[in-house]
Amino acid sequence: MKEFWQNFVNAIFKENPILILMLGLCSVLAVSTSVQNSLGMGLAFSFVMIFSNILVSLLRPITPYNIRIPIFIIAIGMFTTIIDLVMSAYFTELHKSLGIFIPLIVVNCMIIGRAEAFAYKNSVLNSLADGLGMSVGYLWVIVTLGMLREFLGSGTILGIPILPGIFKPTLAFIMPPGAFWGIGFLIALLNWAGNKFRR
């Protein structure tokens, strides 16, 4: 159980998928224009991450080393298609605004990276912990970035206006440059906190 906990916490900060490993940045930068989009993307990502980690770990005994990559891809592709169909059926609006980025989870290097680097070498329970931790790590970064950009770019959070009349939003923040500024800022912040914490 201690190991489970350690793997979980490790994945949130020390091996944060976005800010430290810097994998799968593309969807984070593109989708985080609002908190709602960020949450939707984060949850879809979490679903695929957790279940593909579990399945890859479960299939370990029958997965020959030479064909492990096709097997990972089938597992990841399956869960991505499932979440894509479910979202388009029950969360039509959200699915529309996320567009191409849901099917693109299939090539998110983070998910295949964790399948290869962790789930293929560890037990189901530890893989679950890693999947959960990675998901929380992804979620907090993408939602923070979404909040930052939505507030600075359109003056709202979750569509609710914040400080109307006082704060004038800057459009650049919901355009691509804003994503890079935001992520740079978060990386710097985590590095600073990491240095301070270690000392």
Partner 1 sequence: MKDIFTYGITLMLICALAAAALAFTYEKTQKVIELNEAREKEKALKEILSSAKRFVKLENNITPKDPLVNIQEVYIGYDDGEKVGSIWEVSTKGYSSEIKLLVGVDKNNKILEVRVMSQEETPGLGAEVTKEGFLKQFLGKNEPNLEVKRNINPVTGATISSRAVVRAINEVLNHTNFEGGG
Choose the stretch contacting partner 1; rule: CB under 8 A; options: 16-24, 73-81, 102-110, 113-121: 73-81
Positions in 153-182 near partner 1 (CB under 8 A)? 171, 174-175
User: Considering the complex, what minimum distance in angstroms separates the CB of residue 140 from partner 1?
Assistant: 25
Pairing of strands 160-161, 156-157: antiparallel
CA separation for the pair 89, 174 (Å, rounded):
27
Q: Which is nearer to partner 1, 11 or 87 (CB)?
A: 87
Residue 71 as a binder of partner 1 (CB under 8 A): the answer is yes
CA separation for the pair 118, 111 (Å, rounded):
10
Give DSSP secondary structure letters for 75-135: HHHHHHHHHHHHHHHH-HHHHHHHGGGTGGGGG-HHHHHHIIIIITTS-HHHHHHHHHHHH
User: Considering the complex, what minimum distance in angstroms separates the CB of residue 150 from partner 1?
Assistant: 13
Are 48 and 105 a contacting pair, CB within 8 Å? yes
Residue 74 as a binder of partner 1 (CB under 8 A): the answer is yes
Out of 19, 23, 49, 75, the only residue in the binding site for partner 1 (CB under 8 A) is 75
Going residue by residue from 79 to 98, which x/- string records binding to partner 1, judged by CB under 8 A?
A: --xx--xx-xxx-x---x--
User: Considering the complex, what minimum distance in angstroms separates the CB of residue 58 from partner 1?
Assistant: 11
Residue 195 as a binder of partner 1 (CB under 8 A): the answer is no
Cβ count within 10 A of residue 66: 7
Q: Which is nearer to partner 1, 21 or 56 (CB)?
A: 56
